[in-house]
């Protein structure tokens, strides 16, 4: 909490008003040869703290944020504050942020989604690709992709089925009846990752508490894992991971950093309580801001934003995290 307060105090000292924020952005964008949007003249006059540039030739107004990442953004201050926090590796949820900056929850939500999208589009975050089903226990918030009347975690299964179906269609095959397989693949991953984090065998009840799976599903998944030789049951009702079972990232076959994986789970639970499957990749990029030192430099994230075209909110609404998500590395 102290880090947030300190960063907030510092931000207020540097950016007291909207004008200070406009000045900051102007100092970053002035170098990129501004020309009049109407007559293409370079004879533009900038008034300190104003976004409008006055052309001394035609004489009309141009906005220097037009066509940039900050296109049509009314107030810059909440944006610069969010970037300020991220560049310090401080992550706060939209609810806290909306109170701090006195903006609506919706505005705060959009700001963070747009910022994580900028990082995603830039594509310079290092990490490993891993299957989204490893994160099943975090999916406790609904999204537009959550099947009606079902728990938010069912979005994982629904997404797998969509992917399977379109893959089958592209192979010009009938979609196979593999519902059971697909469903349990996610649960099996979740059980493996949970068992792997524990040095001692875990009792059924405890496993259920940790994975939040129903008794029937957990029993079925455990039977399959035992048959595959992935887990063993050293005593009645207790389970541990088999020695030869390694948890791997799908592409590079390198091992996932278990400690980092669990700190991500912890990060999501403590900061956001839970997330939707749809935006998993956005939260992984937000987590990258916390753990990757290369991002903890003033201007890094702001420059990432300024190097991009405006991001349409429709792009954010229609985004769905892929099956293989990028899990950031720590460095």
Contacting positions for Zn ion (CB under 5 A) = 36, 38-39, 41, 55, 57-58
Neighbour-count burial of 257, counting CB atoms closer than 10 A to its CB (0-12 exposed, 13-18 middle, 19+ buried): middle
Q: Could you tell me the smallest distance in angstroms from the CB atom of residue 22 to Zn ion?
A: 21
Query: At closest approach, how far in Å is the CB of 40 from Zn ion?
Result: 7
Residue 10 has φ and ψ, to the nearest 5°, of -65, -40
Torsion angle, CA of 150/156/161/167, rounded to 10 degrees?
Answer: 160
Q: What SS3 class is residue 322?
A: coil
Minimum distance, C-beta of residue 42 to Zn ion, in the bound complex (Å):
9
Q: Which two tokens stand for residue 222?
A: 């455990």
Distance of closest approach, residue 37 Cβ to Zn ion, in angstroms = 8
Instruction: Work out how close the CB of 59 gets to Zn ion at its nearest, in angstroms, rounded to a whole number.
Output: 7
Closest CB to Zn ion among residues 36, 202? 36
Tell me whether residue 38 or residue 178 sits nearer to Zn ion (CB atom): 38
Q: Which 3-state string (H, E, C) describes 270-298?
A: HHHCCECCCCHHHHHHHHHHHHCHHHCCC
Question: Which residue, 36 or 305, is less far from Zn ion as judged by CB?
Answer: 36
Rounded least distance, CB 34 to Zn ion, Å: 11
Q: 57 vs 71, which CB is nearer to Zn ion? A: 57
Query: Would you say 59 or 274 has its CB closer to Zn ion?
Result: 59
Question: By C-beta, is 7 or 55 nearer to Zn ion?
Answer: 55
Q: How far is the CB of 62 from Zn ion (least distance, A)?
A: 7
The smaller minimum CB distance to Zn ion, of residues 33 and 244, is found at 33
Burial 225-249 (b: 16+ CB within 10 A, else e): beeeebbbeeeeeebbbeeebebeb
CB 123 within 8 A of CB 315: no
Half-sphere exposure for 86 (CA within 13 Å, toward CB):
30
**C-beta of 41 vs 208, nearer to Zn ion:** 41
Distances (CA, A) of 139 to 119, 213, 304: 22, 12, 29
10-15 long-range contacts (CB < 8 A, ≥24 apart) are: 10/84, 11/80, 11/81, 11/84, 11/85, 15/77, 15/80, 15/81, 15/84
CB of 125 to Zn ion, least distance (A): 40
């Amino acid at each position: 909490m102290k880090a947030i307060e300190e960063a907030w105090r510092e931000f207020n000292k540097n950016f007291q008003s909207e004008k200070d924020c406009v000045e900051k952005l102007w100092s970053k964008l002035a170098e990129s040869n501004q020309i009049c949007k109407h007559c293409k003249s370079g004879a533009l006059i900038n008034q300190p703290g104003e976004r409008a540039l006055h052309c001394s030739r035609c004489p009309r107004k141009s906005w220097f944020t037009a066509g940039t990442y900050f296109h049509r953004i009314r107030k810059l201050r909440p944006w610069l504050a969010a970037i300020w926090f991220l560049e310090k590796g401080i992550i706060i949820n939209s609810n806290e942020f909306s109170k701090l900056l006195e903006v609506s929850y919706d505005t705060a939500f959009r700001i963070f989604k747009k910022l994580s999208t900028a990082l995603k589009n830039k594509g310079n975050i290092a990490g490993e690709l891993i299957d989204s089903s490893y994160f099943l226990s975090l999916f406790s918030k609904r999204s537009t992709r959550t099947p009606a009347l079902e728990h938010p975690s069912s979005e994982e299964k629904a997404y797998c089925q969509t992917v399977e179906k379109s893959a089958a269609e592209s192979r010009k095959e009938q979609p196979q009846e593999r519902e059971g397989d697909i469903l349990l693949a996610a649960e099996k991953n979740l059980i493996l990752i949970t068992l792997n984090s524990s040095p001692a065998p875990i009792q059924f009840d405890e496993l259920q508490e940790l994975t939040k799976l129903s008794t029937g599903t957990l029993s079925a998944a455990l039977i399959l894992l035992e048959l595959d030789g992935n887990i063993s049951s050293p005593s009645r009702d207790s389970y541990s991971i088999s020695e030869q079972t390694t948890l791997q990232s799908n592409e590079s076959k390198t091992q996932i950093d278990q400690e980092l994986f669990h700190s991500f789970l912890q990060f999501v639970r403590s900061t956001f309580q839970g997330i939707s499957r749809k935006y998993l990749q956005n939260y992984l990029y937000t987590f990258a801001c916390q753990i990757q030192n290369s991002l903890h430099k003033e201007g890094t994230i702001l420059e990432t934003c300024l190097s991009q075209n405006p991001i349409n909110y429709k792009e954010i609404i229609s985004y769905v995290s892929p099956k293989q998500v990028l899990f950031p590395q720590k460095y």
